[in-house]
Amino acid sequence: MDTKDLLSEQIAYYRARANEYDEWFLRQGRYDRGPELNARWQSEVTEVRVALDAFNLTGDILELACGTGLWTEQLTQTASSITAIDSSPEMIELNRQRLIGKKNIRYVQTNIFDWKPDRQYDNIFFSFWLSHVPHEQFDAFWNSVRQALRPGGSIFVIDSLYDEQSTARNHHLPDKEATILERRLNSGEIYHVVKVFYTPDELTQRLALLGLQADLTQTSRFFLYGIVY
């Protein structure tokens, strides 16, 4: 499939999935992997949340692909302002509802692959987004991110590690090098998305080619996280 069509399908998938998106994160329905694995997932989420708190992302923060706000909410605890970008109006609406009463949040509905930063931010955050950036867009994406970052700022990244139990029970995980995955909604409707899995070392090496430094780590099973600067 042509990359442009694939990225359009990825946008359509998340628009259609917005109302069921949190089931993945909360390990509900098709994503329920039983008490033991659900507890492990939860404890790894806590590990990442603690690391994000400790890093203390302050100032004007740009969040790319903000989704329903599962992490935006945490960012509000340290940020002076948040600019939250997503291509899905449905996701943005859910994010807005989750953050009702919080001040200084600006939403921008746009396709990140067409986005040109119009200002710089103190720090940048994105979770479970980088794996949806195809290899051929990787450099252009990071160049835009760099343009949006004030000198001295950091980028906090969270993403999925390659693990079959991370996704729904009715999703098939092909080998790690495959970059197009089939995804289903609760209705059974099928979409295709980009999914590039990195280990912390692989991502660090790829970023080094762009002159970016990274301090990345991983939880025992599900998540990669850390800082790029």
Site for ligand SAM, rule CB under 6 A: 7, 10-11, 14, 65-67, 70-71, 86-88, 91, 111-113, 127-129, 132
Q: Give me the DSSP letters along 206-223.
A: HHHTTT--EEEEE-SSSE
d(CA 202, CA 216): 10
Q: How far is the CB of 137 from ligand SAM (least distance, A)?
A: 9
Shorter beta-carbon distance to ligand SAM: residue 113 or 162: 113
Shorter beta-carbon distance to ligand SAM: residue 111 or 170: 111
Q: How far is the CB of 75 from ligand SAM (least distance, A)?
A: 11
Shorter beta-carbon distance to ligand SAM: residue 67 or 153: 67
Taking CA atoms, 187 is separated from 22, 57, 90, 93, in Å, by 16, 38, 17, 22
Distance linking the first and last C-alpha atoms of the chain: 33
Name the residue whose CB lies closest to ligand SAM. Answer: 67
Tokens 């990225």 correspond to what residue? 7
Q: How far is the CB of 7 from ligand SAM (least distance, A)?
A: 6
| The two structure tokens encoding residue 177 | 């090098």
Shorter beta-carbon distance to ligand SAM: residue 91 or 216: 91
d(CA 92, CA 89): 5
Taking CA atoms, 213 is separated from 11, 93, 146, 207, in Å, by 30, 34, 12, 7
Shorter beta-carbon distance to ligand SAM: residue 36 or 136: 136
3-state secondary structure of 50: helix
Shorter beta-carbon distance to ligand SAM: residue 42 or 205: 42
Q: How far is the CB of 17 from ligand SAM (least distance, A)?
A: 8
Q: What angle separates helix 89-98 from helix 3-17, to the nearest 10 degrees?
A: 40
Of the candidates 74, 62, 93, the one whose C-alpha atom is nearest the C-alpha of residue 25 is 74
Q: How far is the CB of 67 from ligand SAM (least distance, A)?
A: 2
Q: How far is the CB of 129 from ligand SAM (least distance, A)?
A: 6
d(CA 188, CA 89): 22
